[in-house]
Structure 1
Amino acid sequence: MTRPTPPTRGEELLLARISAAAGREHLGKRCATYGVAAHPIPAPAAPARGIRALLAFVRYGRPSAARARADARLDLYEHGMTVAVRGRIHVVRYDTTSVLQGSTRHHPHVCARAGGTRTYTLTDVDGKRIVLYVGPEDGGVEDCGAEDSGAEGWWFEIRRAVTRAQLPLALAALGTGERLTFGDVWLTRREVGWGEVSARWPEVQQIEISHGAICLEIAGSRQRRHRTGPTASEIPNLFVFRALVERLRTDGAHP
Structure 2
Amino acid sequence: MATDEIAHIRREQPSPAAARLAARQGLGDRTDTIATSQGFRNRKWRDWRMFLFTGGLVVTSPEGYLAAYDWRTVRVLQFRRQDGLSCQALIDPQSNALDIGFGRIPLFQSAKAALGVSSWTNGAPFLYPNSWGDGIQDAVTRAQLPSTLERIEVGETVAFGPYSLNKDRVWDKEYGCSWSEIVEIFCRDGSFYLNGTQRRSQAPRSEVIERIPNLHLLMNACIELSPNVNTFGRLGRRQ
**Normalised TM-score (structure 2):** 0.70
- Cα distance in 1 between the residues matched to 2:71 and 2:172: 26
- The 8 Å contact of residues 29 and 77 in structure 1, kept in 2 or not, is answered as yes
- What is the aligned partner in structure 1 of residue 31 from structure 2? 31
Question: In terms of Rg, which structure is larger?
Answer: 1
- What is the aligned partner in structure 1 of residue 194 from structure 2? 216
- Pick the aligned partner of 1:160 from 109, 116, 138: 138
Structure 2, unpaired ranges of 5+:
1-7, 104-126, 231-239
- Cα distance in 1 between the residues matched to 2:130 and 2:194: 28
- The 8 Å contact of residues 174 and 204 in structure 2, kept in 1 or not, is answered as no
Which letter maps to 1:134? F
Residue 119 (str. 1) matches residue 97 (str. 2): no
After the TM superposition, which segments of 4 or more aligned residues of structure 1 sit over 6 Å from their partners?
Answer: none
Note the alpha carbon deviations across 1:215-252, whole angstroms, 9 max, x for none: 3321123x268863332211111110001111111388
Note the alpha carbon deviations across 1:106-165, whole angstroms, 9 max, x for none: xxxxxxxx4275221001354321112136xxxxxxxxxxxxx53333223312211111
Note the alpha carbon deviations across 1:177-227, whole angstroms, 9 max, x for none: 111111111111111111231111111111333443333321123x26886
Note the alpha carbon deviations across 1:54-83, whole angstroms, 9 max, x for none: xxxxxxx37xxx99x722101011111000
- What is the aligned partner in structure 1 of residue 217 from structure 2? 240
| Alignment length (residue pairs) | 195
Structure 1, unpaired ranges of 5+:
6-10, 37-60, 105-113, 136-148
- Pick the aligned partner of 2:96 from 125, 128, 150: 128
In structure 2, the residue corresponding to 1:247 is in which secondary structure? helix
Which letter maps to 1:70? R
- Cα distance change of structure 1 residues 230 and 181 upon mapping to structure 2, 3 Å threshold: same
- Pick the aligned partner of 2:154 from 172, 176, 199: 176
- Cα distance change of structure 1 residues 225 and 127 upon mapping to structure 2, 3 Å threshold: closer
- The 8 Å contact of residues 186 and 193 in structure 2, kept in 1 or not, is answered as yes
- What is the aligned partner in structure 1 of residue 51 from structure 2? 75
- Cα distance in 2 between the residues matched to 1:117 and 1:80: 22
Please tell me the root mean square deviation across aligned C-alpha atoms, in Å. 3.3
- Cα distance in 1 between the residues matched to 2:214 and 2:161: 9
Amino-acid identity (%): 26
In structure 2, the residue corresponding to 1:239 is in which secondary structure? helix
**Normalised TM-score (structure 1):** 0.66
Residue 97 (str. 1) matches residue 74 (str. 2): yes
